[in-house]
Amino acid sequence: MGYWGHFLRSSLALAGAALLLALPAQAKLQVLASIKPLALIAQEVVGDQADVITLLPVTASPHDYPLKMSDHKRLRSVDLVLWVGPELESFLARPLGNIAADKLITSYQLAGLHWPDEVASDHQHSNHKHSGKDPHIWLDPRNAVLISAVLATRLAQLQPESAAIFRANAQRFAAAVQLLDQQLAQQLASVKEVGFAVYHEGYGHFVGRYGLHQVAYVTYTPERRPGARHLQELREVLAKEGRCLFMEPYYKAQGMEVMAKTLNLQIGLLDPIGEQQVSSYQQLLQQLSQSFLTCLADRRDH
Ligand SMILES: [Zn+2]
């Protein structure tokens, strides 16, 4: 065999090796999470055994998002879709209607989820009806642990050779989150009695878990503008027992800063989906906790 023969053979061998190497990469499982918090949980479970894709850009509101053609394509091509449910991502209800049940985890429907007590919004006398329970379920760390366990089981069915890894990852995540949960409960105990209002009614799971004293919200969902009567009630309850008014990175209601100033309230910022430089689920919770601690702390003697 001459030079070219060797060249050809080694080239073919190389090409063959490259193909073999490429195959596992192409066959990697693809998990699509609707929003960043779910993607962060999924990332903990899959490790390097699968790819996690986040559908929504972090700057988008999960309550209302226009899907692009490329999004529809991705929804069809991935192995597993993890979302909260139509109660939060209503825009996904129709596109996901065509997807096989075994390719879908609807977190809102999982048995064993924890739900905040309904009394949290008793101070509100607005005339809107609560349509179901608070869908921001990832803000209770126990729910994140439940989602990770369900995800590990489902991934093990899809890729049995990685089952032990998925299970171990989920267990490690659960242990870390349980520890963090205890730490947050200790930290937040000092501000439990301090009244505050949130921008949108999306923190019930966190507020309920740590027994915080939410007295009102500005608007039910970010897209809805508060009415005059609601704003009047908000002002009254905050004047009586509020120290802090929490806004959100992408939503500004006119007049809120003015109201806060008039009532001598601190202004805080809450970021429920970890839009701001958060790279793990634990960080998302820590950041929320820090926001509460900072805004609710007593600063009168400073
Ligand atoms: Zn929300």
What is the tens place of the pLDDT at every residue in 36-59? 999 999 999 999 999 999 998 878
Residue 90 C-alpha to ligand 1 middle, in angstroms? 12
Please answer whether residues 290 and 53 qualify as being in contact, where contact means their C-beta atoms are separated by less than 8 angstroms.
no
Q: Per DSSP, what are the bridge partners of residue 244?
A: 196, 266
Q: How far is the CA of 149 from the centre of ligand 1 (A)?
A: 24
19 or 99, greater pLDDT: 99
The yes-or-no answer to whether 14-182 and 190-296 have a common fold is yes
Mean pLDDT, the chain, integer:
87
Lowest mean pLDDT among 143-157, 185-199, 250-264: 250-264
Distance 299 CA to ligand 1 centre (A): 29
**What distance in angstroms lies between residue 61's CA and the mean position of ligand 1's atoms?**
7
Query: CA torsion sign, 113 to 117 to 120 to 124?
Result: positive
- One of 3.30.428.10, 3.40.50.1980, 3.40.50.970, 3.40.920.10 is the CATH number of 190-296, namely 3.40.50.1980
- 171 burial via Cβ count (<10 Å: 0-12, 13-18, 19+): middle
Ligand 1 centre distance from Cα of residue 253 (Å): 15
- Give the closest residue to 86 by CA, choosing from 96, 74, 78: 96
CA of 99 to the centre of ligand 1 (A): 25
| Amino acid at position 194, single letter | V
For ligand 1, the distance from its centroid to the CA atom of residue 191, given in whole angstroms, is: 23
Q: What gap in Å lies between CA 79 and CA 28, rounded to an integer?
A: 9
Q: Structural domain boundaries of the chain?
A: 14-182, 190-296
| Cα 185 to averaged position of ligand 1 atoms, centre (Å) | 23
Confidence band, pLDDT 50/70/90 cuts, at residue 13: low
Helix (H) or strand (E) segment spanning residue 77: helix 69-77
pLDDT bucket at 288, cuts 50 / 70 / 90: very high
- Ligand 1 centroid–CA 271 distance in Å is 10
Residue 199 Cα to ligand 1 middle (Å): 10
CA separation, residue 148 to residues 5, 11, 99, 120, 130 (Å): 54, 45, 21, 27, 28
Q: Distance, CA 133 to ligand 1 centroid (Å)?
A: 12
CA distances from 205 to 92, 157, 196 (A): 22, 30, 15
Q: What is the distance between the alpha carbons of residues 112 and 181, in angstroms, rounded to a whole number?
A: 18
Calculate how far, in angstroms, residue 111's C-alpha sits from the geometric centre of ligand 1.
22
Instruction: Give the model's pLDDT for residue 129.
Output: 40
Question: Can you tell me the distance from the alpha carbon of 78 to that of 42, in angstroms, rounded to the nearest whole number?
Answer: 14
pLDDT of residue 274: 83
Mean pLDDT within 132-148: 95
More confident residue, 98 or 302: 98
d(CA 220, ligand 1 centre) in Å: 9
* C-alpha 223 – ligand 1 centre gap (Å): 10
Compute the distance from residue 134 Cα to the ligand 1 centre, in Å: 9
Q: State the distance from the centre of ligand 1 to the C-alpha of 136, rounded, in angstroms.
A: 6
Residue 197 CA to ligand 1 centre (angstroms): 15
Confidence band (pLDDT; 50, 70, 90) for 247?
Answer: very high
Neighbouring CB atoms inside 10 A of 249's CB total 15
User: Which pLDDT value is given to residue 124?
Assistant: 45
pLDDT higher than threshold 60 for residue 222? yes
**Residue 275: predicted pLDDT:** 78
User: Greater confidence, 126 or 70?
Assistant: 70
Q: What is the pTM of this model?
A: 0.86
Q: How many CB atoms within 10 Å of residue 163?
A: 16
| Of residues 9, 236, 217, the one with CA closest to residue 130 | 217
14-182 belongs to CATH 3.40.50.1980? yes
pLDDT exceeds cutoff 60 at 127: no
Distances (CA, A) of 44 to 49, 74, 232: 11, 21, 44
User: What does the pLDDT look like over 257-282, one tens digit per residue?
Assistant: 889 999 999 999 998 888 778 999 99
**Residues with a beta carbon under 5 angstroms from ion ligand 1:** 202
Which residue, 68, 67, 66, 62, is CA-closest to 85?
A: 62
Distance from the CA of 294 to the center of ligand 1, in angstroms? 22
195 C-alpha to center of ligand 1: Å? Answer: 20
Separation of 92 CA from ligand 1 center, angstroms?
15
